[in-house]
Structure 1
């Protein structure tokens, strides 16, 4: 997480590391869930496993703390991942340049559509 936080927000290295970290968080969460299940089994017969209630509670607390920690990391990474999918705001100067280009593209499209319509009319006349 420390290396990920130090990388520039918009970089392929950060994006790739983010995907790996999200996957790792999911794996660790699964492992913690399995560990919690094991503690529940041990709690049912503490003498068989040579444990006492204090040790069981200690293990449960540790698992809960790590699960909370991994969950926080996972949420931070997911928010950053989702932010990359959002459209980036266009700087004002660039937006003023894009406006005329869009209008120019629209007029080119209209001219192109007009040409196609004209050609279709000519072909219709030839067929008649």
Structure 2
């Protein structure tokens, strides 16, 4: 799912671009921080800048997640599909994981530095072995985080496909309901037309009865009764 398809006027994408730029800056600073030696005076300053940048990014990502929650509850109002909302959630998750990865790297480096600087910590070959173990742990932890990210991406993709299928089914149901509504409207119009015709026929009948007078009506009724009696005699005879 492509997260870059939003319009330039959508606030989500405007803020997203700023956060993405801040994250790229933090990752670039982190790469430079890793390349500096332990005694380099810029290393501590750069580390502090990275931590501040990551805290700011984490706060902004949390706010973006809240905005996605609000948009999901009012999807029709904002004109967003479930696939679009799933894509935004996926971006929030990816960005948070990347930011946490940078922070974890800094924290792991602190742990290694403290263990090496502690007088009670074994030195020499043992200290080197501990450092190698820490490096392997950091590497394996990074690999595990990447694996989790890939699994979550796959799950989000599957969720997006399910949402798209549900959306298609919803559109079909909506179309069927509209068709039924049109048929009901047509039936209502036909009933109303028939009602008007019956009313007009009844009015004409009343006018005819008024014109022929009461005597003629009685004669007509007697004539019809005589015909009915004759028919009954013919039937039962």
- TM-score, length of structure 1 as denominator length: 0.64
Q: Secondary structure of the equivalent of 1:39? A: helix
| 2:107 aligned residue | 78
| 1:7 aligned residue | 36
Distance 1:27 1:66, change over 3 A: same
* Greater relative contact order structure (CA < 8 Å, 6+ sep): 1
Structure 1 runs (4+) deviating above 4 angstroms are: 88-92
Structure 2: runs of 5+ lacking an equivalent: 1-29, 125-237
Calculate the aligned-residue CA RMSD, in Å: 2.1
| 2:52 aligned residue | 23
| 1:52 aligned residue | 81
| 2:95 aligned residue | 66
C-alpha displacement at 1:9, in angstroms? 2.5
C-alpha displacement at 1:84, in angstroms? 3.7
Q: Which one has a bigger Cα radius of gyration?
A: 2
Structure 1: runs of 5+ lacking an equivalent: 93-128
C-alpha displacement at 1:82, in angstroms? 4.0
- TM-score, length of structure 2 as denominator length: 0.36
Q: Secondary structure of the equivalent of 1:43? A: helix
CA deviation vs aligned residue, 1:17-49 (integer Å, no higher than 9, x gap): 011101111110111011000000000011111
Aligned mates of 2:111, 2:48 — CA distance in 1:
12
CA deviation vs aligned residue, 1:61-81 (integer Å, no higher than 9, x gap): 011011011111101112223
Distance 1:10 1:84, change over 3 A: farther
